[in-house]
Structure 1
Amino acid sequence: MRAAFRSPTARLASLGGALALLMIGALALHVPGADTVGTPTRANLFVAVLALGVALYLAAIRLVLRADLPRSALWLVLGLAVLMRMALLPSLPFLSSDIYRYVWDGQVQAAGINPYRYLPVDPALEHLRDPAVFPLINRATYARTIYPPAAEAVFGLVGRASASVTGMKVAMLGFEVVAVMCLLRLLSLSGLPRERIAIYAWNPLVLWSFACDGHVDAVAIGLLGLALLVRARRRDGWAGAILAGAVLVKFLPIVVAPAFLRRGRFRAPALAGAAVVAALYLPYLSAGRDLFGFLGAYGSEEGYDTGAGFWLVAGLSHLVPLPAFAGRAYALAVAVGFGALALWIVRRRTADASPAAVALCRDTAILAACATAAANPHYAWYYAWLAVPATVAPIPAVIWLSAAPVLFLIDPFNERFLWPALVFVPAAALALRSVVRHRPAVPIPAKALEGTA
């Protein structure tokens, strides 16, 4: 009996079962009907439970990456992933109200109206207001929709089939299915164990971001997974087109474009991507200068213009008074550094024998993690997309960044440095450790390797 329990499969089942119990049990902390967890004390306890879930998740992933598991372990991973999502799906969102804007934009488009033209409170949309959705739309009095046209196209399609939060959540889980199927195929193409899909499927931040809150990032994740698979199959034009679709769901995926352009493959993906961008914006051009909605004011609301929204700048402000241009200086430094990283990735040649899909996902993971960490949004779900490339290229710092931001669901100090440091400091330490461990102590000349087996 003890020998059976010590088997890797039994340990994985134990960790996965404990994770599922924690994630499902966390629902009990939510006060029914409340649009948040309920009280600050309950919110703190809720995040503590999720943090414990992250610890179990990391232990499970360590086992998946190191143990020799049977093929049947895949069904254990997928079964628990489905169970956790089905348990959270019926719950109304209580960690974010963004989905109500999605449903509203879908209803507006179902009525034949451009969603970029009006504020939700505009009298022109009065006939669309309902007690289930309209009262819960955030920024309804001052912000036109911020979502790009690919996201709006999805909202519109869902809105024609269902005007409910549950319908929108089901659609988001459908895009998760696309991501999982693509990742499973990428793992197979790379000769890697398919149970590594647990890196994505068991991630607590992924789970709560989509199964509970139904964030639109799930659409971008599905499209990114598909773009990676198509690019691994050397369909450059299609990869560029699909990646452009992901960018017009949530602009952030543009940062991984250099990974798709390695070895001079530029023309086909660039032309296809530009065509997709034009086609997606075309139906909404009647909005004129309001086509980008609330995007321009969003940076100011998040403190990016002053620098207060950036983790490093916020930390420096605790030590010394900073000039008014500190935020712009930080943004410029990040742009230069990221540009150098992107150029290095586009031009470099892979030194090891990694399969093409692994190299692609590794480059994507590095670009995505660096850009997301540099922007350091304080909304937890912005980090969930990092779990996609990390599934095929499991970089420890990226896996950490894809899950640990569950801590951002609360802000006990009401400032942008101390609490986020619990996420960013370990991420930096893990990244430094990876760089040091993978740097050869003595370079080996290429000629010295000739003739070796």
Structure 2
Amino acid sequence: MNTLLQTYRIPLLMVLASLVFYWSFAYQLERSDFIKLLSLYAALFFLFYKLIQTNAGNYKFLFWTGIAFRAAFLLAIPNLSQDFYRFLWDGRLLIEGINPYLSTPNSFALTEMKGIYQAQQLINGMGALNASHYSNYPPVSQFVYAIAALFAGSSILGSVIVLRLVLIAADIGILLFGKKLLEKLNLPKHYIFWFFLNPFIIIELTGNLHFEGVMVFFLVAALYFMVVKKWLWSALFLGLSVSTKLIPLLFLPLLLPYFLSRFPDKITAFKKLSLYYLTVFGTVLLLFLPFLSEAFIQNFSKTISLWFVNFEFNASVYYLIRWIGFETVGWNIIGTVGKILPVVVVLFVMYLSFFRKTKNGSQLLILMLFGICFYHQIF
């Protein structure tokens, strides 16, 4: 025992310090306290780097360390995002048999809220902006929200715990499939811990309950099955990823050069790719099918349009565009430019698809990295 403690003394001290910082992040941090936020992030990233640097080959230790860091958030209400209130709202509507895509929270009368536990508290929590718009969360996300409502529909904290457990399970899935994918790509397996122990990942996914974690799990599984040439499974998982968050749609054109490199005959490659696309879109359509209606299409497309045109997520780009607008024409031109920016993203992705070669899975991942980075730089 003494030998074990001596061997792991420094790593255990780093883990303990990280747990203290994560606990402070989860239960003590005020959203407006920028200095404390930045200091905690800096300390956690330093410890994260040192932990992997000194324990790269100790997979069990790094795995349980990542689980412990996530467990620190288990009983915490997210303090850096209020999106989860909308998740709980949508889930509780679904359990009541109400289509969450057909109405905004603000449109509910007091009498209609009686069947929804803590309805007014959820609306107040999500904020006026969120409550005034239709839901834009795809069906897999809605299904998980409904699970939270099913098991803890009368408790906000209980629902948060259910969502958190799902996200932790997704992170474990990413670790398992990511490790297998790295092996197939002849890359060091411990690279997956740069994801699994990353403070940003732990705080944003487990801490703030953002469902990119579930999306990435399905995406990594899709990539693994693609590399081992199990095309049907890959397409099914990619469809599930799109049905969790729409972002992976961005990657579909990038599969063209990869399929062309996998099949010497171009006709065969196009046939395989067409079948792959059909499976992806068929999966997405099947999952959306219970919600489909003319009103759903109008509401969902309207909300997605607002995402690109009205919401200023990337301040560095949007503030620059706004400044140019005021300097040139005297008003904020984001309403016009916002309609052009998605086209710019699509053109960039098409450039990557048609003018960049992809000979293997590693190069496909690089193209995906370029595509998603460009997307997030714009939005």
TM over 0.5: yes
Q: Which residue of 2 aligns with 1:204?
A: 199
Pick closer, same or farther for the CA change 1:149–1:196 going to 2, 3 Å.
same
Tell me the alpha carbon deviations over residues 185-221 of structure 1, each in whole angstroms, 9 at most, x when there is no partner: 2123334333222111111111011221211222211
1:145 correspondence with 2:135 = yes
CA distance in 2, matches of 1:339, 1:114: 35
* Aligned partners of 1:119 and 1:144 also within 8 Å: yes
> Which of 111, 124, 136 is 1:135 aligned to?
124
Aligned to 2:290: 283
Q: Does 1:335 align with 2:322?
A: no
Partner of 1:445: none
Query: For the residues of structure 2 that align with 1:195 and 1:91, how far apart are their CA atoms?
Result: 29
1:44 is matched with which residue: 20, 35, 48? 35
Alignment check: 8 A CA contact 1:187 1:193 kept: yes
Q: Give yes or no for the alignment of 1:22 onto 2:26.
A: no
* Aligned mates of 2:187, 2:11 — CA distance in 1: 18
Cα deviations across residues 149-176 of structure 1 (Å, max 9, x unaligned)?
2322332344333322211222222222
Q: Structure 2: which amino acid aligns with 1:109?
A: L
Contact 1:259–1:363 under 8 Å retained in 2: yes
Which ranges of structure 1 fall in alignment gaps of 5 or more residues?
A: 31-36, 351-355, 376-453
CA RMSD of aligned residues (A): 3.2
Structure 2: how far apart are the matches of 1:275 and 1:196? Answer: 33
How many angstroms does 1:235 deviate by? 1.7
Question: Which residue identity lines up with residue 137 of structure 1 in the other structure?
Answer: M
Question: Is 2:232 aligned against 1:232?
Answer: no
Q: In 2 relative to 1, CA 43–312 (structure 1 residues): closer, same or farther, beyond 3 Å?
A: closer
Contact map agreement 1:103 1:168 (CA 8 A) in 2: no
Paired letter, 2:209: G
**CA 1:185–1:349 in structure 2 vs 1: closer, same or farther (change >3 Å)?**
closer
| Paired amino acid for 1:186 | L
Aligned runs of 1:7-406 on 2, under 5 Å?
18-27=17-26, 29-30=28-29, 37=30, 40=32, 42-58=33-49, 60=51, 63=53, 69-70=56-57, 73-121=58-106, 122-123=108-109, 125-131=112-118, 133-138=122-127, 139=129, 141-163=131-153, 164-261=159-256, 262-264=258-260, 265-286=272-293, 287-288=295-296, 289-292=298-301, 294-303=303-312, 311-312=316-317, 314-315=319-320, 321-322=327-328, 324=333, 326-327=337-338, 331-345=342-356, 348-350=357-359, 356-375=360-379
Cα deviation code 1:345-396 (max 9, x no counterpart): 4xx143xxxxx44344333323222322232xxxxxxxxxxxxxxxxxxxxx
Q: Distance in 2 between matches of 1:14 and 1:341?
A: 45
How has the CA–CA distance of structure 1 residues 29 and 327 changed in structure 2, closer, same or farther, with 3 Å as cutoff?
Answer: same
SS of the residue corresponding to residue 104 of structure 1 reads helix
Q: Is the 8 A contact 2:93 2:116 kept in 1?
A: no
| Residues 146 and 293, structure 1, Cα contact 8 Å, conserved in 2 | no
Moved more, 104-113 or 255-264: 255-264
Q: Which residue of 2 aligns with 1:398?
A: none
Q: Is the 8 A contact 2:144 2:163 kept in 1?
A: no
Question: What is the percent sequence identity of the aligned residues?
Answer: 17
CA, structure 1 residues 253+58, in 2 after alignment: closer, same or farther (shift >3 Å)? farther
Distance 1:45 1:224 in 2: 34
| Runs of 5+ consecutive residues of structure 2 not aligned to the other structure | 154-158, 261-271
